[in-house]
Structure 1
Amino acid sequence: MDFVTFQRAFQESGVIELHEVQKEFPDFHARRLSDWQAKNYIQKIINRFYRWTDQPLTEQLAFYTANRIYRDSYISLWSALSYYGLIPEGVYQTYSVSTHKTKSFSTPIGEWVYKHIKPTLFFGYRIERWNNKPLLIAEPEKALLDTIYLNTQWHNTTDIDALRINWAILAEIAQPNIIREYAEFYCNQRITELAHYLIQRMSDD
């Protein structure tokens, strides 16, 4: 196969997956990808996943890539909190939660970290669009609860205050009843108590 044919078929793909290429072109030889890497047409992310080298490395592309390279995951934790403007710090890794095992990938274009959650907690995400492609990211309420849940060393309100949450933004984009409802699914007294504190601070501020 020549590169022009390949490019026409996948030019709208933010992430190129070898499985999809071989599905579209059953006689495709993976060695062609090595040739095109050498010519700087494409760049390898991890095994079986590639990107166009001339595509800007945006936050949306990082999020979409995170969704693609580790299935059954959605953006959450520090990445989602930063995306919504709820914490002041910039986040240089892309954090997700997944029903699969905890895993991380260090690649030439970034680092992706996945934290395991139980299948019963795989909810509370929204589907946004990036270049007409679905991008899964936690709702603000769920991003906060996922973060508290997975940081098991957090036990009191001082730990929550250390997050330096922008309470004004949280009150604007989140709903107390959603926090309360979602917290019940964790079946965890620590989560329930800290969720109550979130709700209290939202009303105080």
Structure 2
Amino acid sequence: MIYSRKVVFLQRFLNIIRMTYLQFREQWHKVGCFNVYQVRSVAPHFDRGNLTRWVKKGYLVRLRQDWYAFADLLGEAEFSRYVAQKIYVPSYISLHTALAYFGIIPEAVSQITCVTSNRTTHYENAFGEYTYHSVKSSMFFGYEPIVMPQGYSYLLALPEKALLDLLYLYPQYDTEAALLNLRLDDWWMQDELDVNRLREFSGKAANVALQKRTELLLKTYRND
């Protein structure tokens, strides 16, 4: 009886180690991207060498150290933004990426720009180029979840917070000429911008210089 139990245990152990890609995909594809520690929390004896082999075969994409995603998701719209939220936390998408998302700036943005209360860092992988700008913990607010059709979600700055983050991280925008060089959409700034929310966020930041730049932005782009 004891012997048979050992055999069953050994067989289960070997099955975990020899997990096929199809078995792994069935369990983890709904997650989209994942790290080694998440996998081992479910399967403690999982052979991480499987991940290296599956990357070489083109089944998986390595995102950064210990982080992976399924290669068939490369063509999924917005999935690169979901990746941004997973590989470096806490963070939310803001600045130029968010401003382009809302149509506030005319330029297409090649990299995904994020804000973090962690240190500033940068990553590149098959899904895109990611830059994370560090802010004080007191500035880490003003975002909401965006749910994708596939069920994945990511955090995106509200448009007013994306503007405030820009003024906070780029203090050189302290003259009307510099602000006009941003080429913010005049219609959006006049008709869509929530001035009260922008001022509320600026006050919450408790930064006098930032509040001055915020008021200058309003003076530059609005008629009221």
TM-score by length of 1: 0.92
Unaligned segments of structure 1, at least 5 residues: none
Tell me what 1:175 maps to.
194
Residue type of the alignment partner of 1:44 = R
Tell me what 1:143 maps to.
162
Spell out the pairing of 1:153-164 with structure 2 (5 A cutoff).
Answer: 153-164=172-183
Q: Does the CA-based 8 Å contact 1:72-1:99 persist in structure 2?
A: yes
Taking structure 1 as reference, are residues 21 and 126 closer, same or farther at Cα in structure 2, changes over 3 Å only?
same
Tell me what 2:171 maps to.
152
Shift of 1:198: 3.3
Q: Give, in whole Å, the separation in 2 of the partners of 1:115 and 1:164.
A: 22
Residue type of the alignment partner of 2:188 = I
Q: Root-mean-square deviation (CA), in Å?
A: 1.7
Aligned length: 205
Q: Indicate whether 1:186 and 2:168 are aligned.
A: no
Q: Indicate whether 1:10 and 2:28 are aligned.
A: yes
The structure having more radius of gyration, on CA atoms, is 2
Q: Give, in whole Å, the separation in 2 of the partners of 1:158 and 1:188.
A: 22
Q: Does the CA-based 8 Å contact 2:94-2:162 persist in structure 1?
A: yes
Partner of 1:149, secondary structure, is helix
Tell me what 2:5 maps to.
none
> Which is helix-richer, 1 or 2?
2
Q: Indicate whether 1:68 and 2:86 are aligned.
A: yes
Q: Does the CA-based 8 Å contact 1:155-1:190 persist in structure 2?
A: no
Runs of 4 or more consecutive aligned structure 1 residues displaced over 3 Å after TM superposition: 56-59, 170-173, 197-203
Partner of 2:174, secondary structure, is coil
Shift of 1:142: 0.3
Residue range with higher mean Cα deviation, 16-25 or 80-89: 16-25
Taking structure 1 as reference, are residues 36 and 20 closer, same or farther at Cα in structure 2, changes over 3 Å only?
same
TM-score by length of 2: 0.85
Tell me what 1:95 maps to.
113
